[in-house]
Amino acid sequence: MTVFEAVRARYSVRAYQDKPVEQEKLDRILEAARLAPSASNRQEGRFVVVRDPGKRARLVEAASGQGFVGQAPVVIVACAKHDGRIMRCGQACYPIDVAIALEHIALQAVEEGLGTCWIGAFDEAAAKKICGIPKTDDVRVVELMPLGYPADSPREKSRLAIDQIVMLDEWRQ
Protein backbone atom coordinates (compact mmCIF):
# COMPACT_ATOMS: atom_id res chain seq x y z
CA MET A 1 0.00 0.00 0.00
CA THR A 2 1.31 3.46 -0.88
CA VAL A 3 0.94 6.44 1.41
CA PHE A 4 -1.61 7.94 -1.01
CA GLU A 5 -3.62 4.71 -0.93
CA ALA A 6 -3.64 4.87 2.88
CA VAL A 7 -4.75 8.52 2.75
CA ARG A 8 -7.61 7.62 0.41
CA ALA A 9 -8.62 4.57 2.48
CA ARG A 10 -8.60 6.25 5.91
CA TYR A 11 -11.98 7.13 7.35
CA SER A 12 -13.50 7.80 10.76
CA VAL A 13 -14.40 4.34 12.08
CA ARG A 14 -17.40 4.40 14.40
CA ALA A 15 -17.95 0.65 14.88
CA TYR A 16 -15.30 -1.90 15.84
CA GLN A 17 -15.10 -5.68 15.74
CA ASP A 18 -14.68 -7.58 18.99
CA LYS A 19 -11.17 -8.60 18.01
CA PRO A 20 -7.94 -7.66 19.80
CA VAL A 21 -5.21 -5.67 18.10
CA GLU A 22 -2.05 -7.76 17.76
CA GLN A 23 0.89 -6.39 19.74
CA GLU A 24 3.21 -6.30 16.70
CA LYS A 25 0.69 -4.12 14.83
CA LEU A 26 0.27 -1.84 17.81
CA ASP A 27 4.05 -1.59 18.14
CA ARG A 28 4.39 -0.43 14.50
CA ILE A 29 1.57 2.08 14.96
CA LEU A 30 3.19 3.55 18.06
CA GLU A 31 6.56 3.62 16.32
CA ALA A 32 4.96 5.70 13.56
CA ALA A 33 3.94 8.21 16.25
CA ARG A 34 7.44 8.18 17.74
CA LEU A 35 8.95 8.99 14.33
CA ALA A 36 6.62 11.94 13.69
CA PRO A 37 8.28 15.33 13.40
CA SER A 38 7.83 17.95 16.10
CA ALA A 39 8.71 21.63 16.49
CA SER A 40 12.40 21.96 17.36
CA ASN A 41 12.35 18.16 17.86
CA ARG A 42 10.76 18.72 21.29
CA GLN A 43 8.89 15.40 21.10
CA GLU A 44 6.18 16.52 23.51
CA GLY A 45 3.67 13.80 22.58
CA ARG A 46 2.82 11.13 25.16
CA PHE A 47 0.41 8.29 24.44
CA VAL A 48 -1.53 6.30 27.03
CA VAL A 49 -2.63 3.02 25.43
CA VAL A 50 -5.85 1.91 27.11
CA ARG A 51 -6.86 -1.73 26.68
CA ASP A 52 -8.60 -2.32 30.02
CA PRO A 53 -12.36 -2.75 29.31
CA GLY A 54 -13.36 -0.91 32.49
CA LYS A 55 -11.23 2.11 31.67
CA ARG A 56 -12.46 2.10 28.06
CA ALA A 57 -16.06 2.11 29.37
CA ARG A 58 -15.25 5.08 31.58
CA LEU A 59 -13.67 6.85 28.60
CA VAL A 60 -17.02 6.48 26.79
CA GLU A 61 -18.56 8.60 29.57
CA ALA A 62 -15.72 11.12 29.29
CA ALA A 63 -16.28 11.21 25.51
CA SER A 64 -19.87 12.45 25.70
CA GLY A 65 -21.31 8.92 25.60
CA GLN A 66 -19.82 7.98 22.23
CA GLY A 67 -20.17 4.21 22.65
CA PHE A 68 -17.85 3.22 19.84
CA VAL A 69 -14.94 4.69 21.81
CA GLY A 70 -15.24 1.86 24.32
CA GLN A 71 -16.13 -0.68 21.64
CA ALA A 72 -12.64 -0.34 20.16
CA PRO A 73 -10.19 -2.77 21.78
CA VAL A 74 -7.64 0.05 22.16
CA VAL A 75 -8.07 3.72 22.94
CA ILE A 76 -5.03 5.93 22.54
CA VAL A 77 -5.19 8.91 24.87
CA ALA A 78 -2.94 11.39 23.09
CA CYS A 79 -1.29 13.80 25.49
CA ALA A 80 1.41 16.43 25.48
CA LYS A 81 4.00 17.04 28.15
CA HIS A 82 4.67 20.58 27.05
CA ASP A 83 6.71 23.59 28.03
CA GLY A 84 4.28 26.22 26.72
CA ARG A 85 6.45 27.07 23.73
CA ILE A 86 4.80 29.23 21.10
CA MET A 87 6.18 29.16 17.57
CA ARG A 88 7.16 32.45 15.91
CA CYS A 89 3.91 32.24 13.92
CA GLY A 90 1.96 32.53 17.19
CA GLN A 91 0.75 28.91 17.38
CA ALA A 92 1.39 26.63 20.36
CA CYS A 93 3.67 23.73 19.42
CA TYR A 94 2.08 20.89 21.36
CA PRO A 95 -1.37 20.55 19.73
CA ILE A 96 0.15 20.64 16.25
CA ASP A 97 2.91 18.18 17.13
CA VAL A 98 0.47 15.73 18.73
CA ALA A 99 -1.86 16.06 15.72
CA ILE A 100 1.00 15.16 13.38
CA ALA A 101 1.78 12.07 15.47
CA LEU A 102 -1.91 11.09 15.53
CA GLU A 103 -2.16 11.27 11.78
CA HIS A 104 0.94 9.06 11.54
CA ILE A 105 -0.95 6.65 13.84
CA ALA A 106 -4.09 6.85 11.69
CA LEU A 107 -2.23 6.16 8.43
CA GLN A 108 -0.16 3.31 9.87
CA ALA A 109 -3.37 1.83 11.25
CA VAL A 110 -4.80 1.75 7.71
CA GLU A 111 -1.66 -0.05 6.53
CA GLU A 112 -2.21 -2.61 9.30
CA GLY A 113 -5.86 -3.18 8.33
CA LEU A 114 -7.13 -1.22 11.33
CA GLY A 115 -9.20 1.90 11.75
CA THR A 116 -9.29 4.97 13.97
CA CYS A 117 -11.41 8.01 14.72
CA TRP A 118 -10.33 11.43 15.96
CA ILE A 119 -12.24 12.27 19.15
CA GLY A 120 -12.20 15.88 20.27
CA ALA A 121 -15.50 15.78 22.20
CA PHE A 122 -14.33 14.70 25.65
CA ASP A 123 -13.89 15.94 29.18
CA GLU A 124 -10.16 16.39 29.69
CA ALA A 125 -10.31 16.30 33.50
CA ALA A 126 -12.24 13.02 33.40
CA ALA A 127 -9.81 11.48 30.90
CA LYS A 128 -6.90 12.52 33.09
CA LYS A 129 -8.50 10.96 36.17
CA ILE A 130 -9.34 7.68 34.37
CA CYS A 131 -5.81 7.28 33.02
CA GLY A 132 -3.84 8.61 36.00
CA ILE A 133 -2.52 11.54 33.96
CA PRO A 134 -1.08 14.39 36.06
CA LYS A 135 -3.54 17.20 36.74
CA THR A 136 -0.86 19.80 36.09
CA ASP A 137 -1.17 22.47 33.39
CA ASP A 138 1.97 21.27 31.59
CA VAL A 139 0.30 17.95 30.69
CA ARG A 140 -2.68 18.17 28.35
CA VAL A 141 -4.91 15.54 26.81
CA VAL A 142 -5.17 16.63 23.17
CA GLU A 143 -7.33 13.90 21.59
CA LEU A 144 -8.68 10.40 22.11
CA MET A 145 -8.23 7.91 19.31
CA PRO A 146 -10.02 4.54 19.33
CA LEU A 147 -8.16 1.85 17.38
CA GLY A 148 -9.33 -1.52 16.14
CA TYR A 149 -10.69 -3.60 13.30
CA PRO A 150 -13.56 -1.77 11.59
CA ALA A 151 -17.05 -3.26 11.80
CA ASP A 152 -18.47 -0.56 9.54
CA SER A 153 -17.71 0.64 6.03
CA PRO A 154 -16.51 4.01 4.83
CA ARG A 155 -19.18 6.45 3.79
CA GLU A 156 -18.89 8.63 0.71
CA LYS A 157 -16.64 11.55 1.58
CA SER A 158 -17.81 15.00 0.59
CA ARG A 159 -14.79 17.12 -0.21
CA LEU A 160 -14.39 20.52 -1.81
CA ALA A 161 -12.87 20.63 -5.29
CA ILE A 162 -9.12 21.20 -5.39
CA ASP A 163 -9.58 24.63 -6.99
CA GLN A 164 -11.69 25.66 -3.99
CA ILE A 165 -8.93 24.98 -1.48
CA VAL A 166 -5.69 25.66 -3.38
CA MET A 167 -4.66 29.20 -4.34
CA LEU A 168 -1.53 30.08 -6.23
CA ASP A 169 0.68 32.87 -4.93
CA GLU A 170 -2.05 34.70 -2.97
CA TRP A 171 -5.43 34.37 -1.27
CA ARG A 172 -8.47 34.68 -3.50
CA GLN A 173 -12.18 34.47 -2.82
Q: What is the mean pLDDT of residues 105-122?
A: 98
CATH topology of domain 3-155: NADH Oxidase (3.40.109)
Q: What is the mean pLDDT of residues 96-123?
A: 98
Q: How far apart are CA 162 and CA 23, in angstroms?
A: 39
By the 10 Å C-beta count (0-12 exposed, 13-18 middle, 19+ buried), 151 is classed as: middle
Sequence ranges of the domains in the chain: 3-155
Inform me whether the pLDDT recorded for 173 exceeds 90.
no
Over the stretch 1-10, which tens digit does the pLDDT of each residue have? 999 999 999 9
**Range 63-69 contact pairs with CB under 8 angstroms and sequence separation of 24 or more:** 63/119, 63/121, 63/122, 63/123, 63/144, 64/121, 64/122, 64/123, 66/119, 66/121, 68/13, 68/14, 68/15, 68/16, 68/117, 68/146, 69/119, 69/144, 69/146
Confirm if 16 and 150 have CB atoms less than 8 A apart: yes
Q: What is the mean pLDDT of residues 84-110?
A: 97
Inform me whether the pLDDT recorded for 57 exceeds 90.
yes
Give the model's pLDDT for residue 121: 98
Q: How far apart are CA 116 and CA 94, in angstroms?
A: 21
**Average per-residue pLDDT in the chain?**
97
Over the stretch 116-171, which tens digit does the pLDDT of each residue have? 999 999 999 999 999 999 999 999 999 999 999 999 999 988 999 999 999 999 99
Over the stretch 1-35, which tens digit does the pLDDT of each residue have? 999 999 999 999 999 999 999 999 999 999 999 99
Candidates 111, 19, 36, 119; CA nearest to 76 is 119
What pTM does this model have? 0.95
For a pLDDT cut of 90, what percent of the chain falls above it? 97
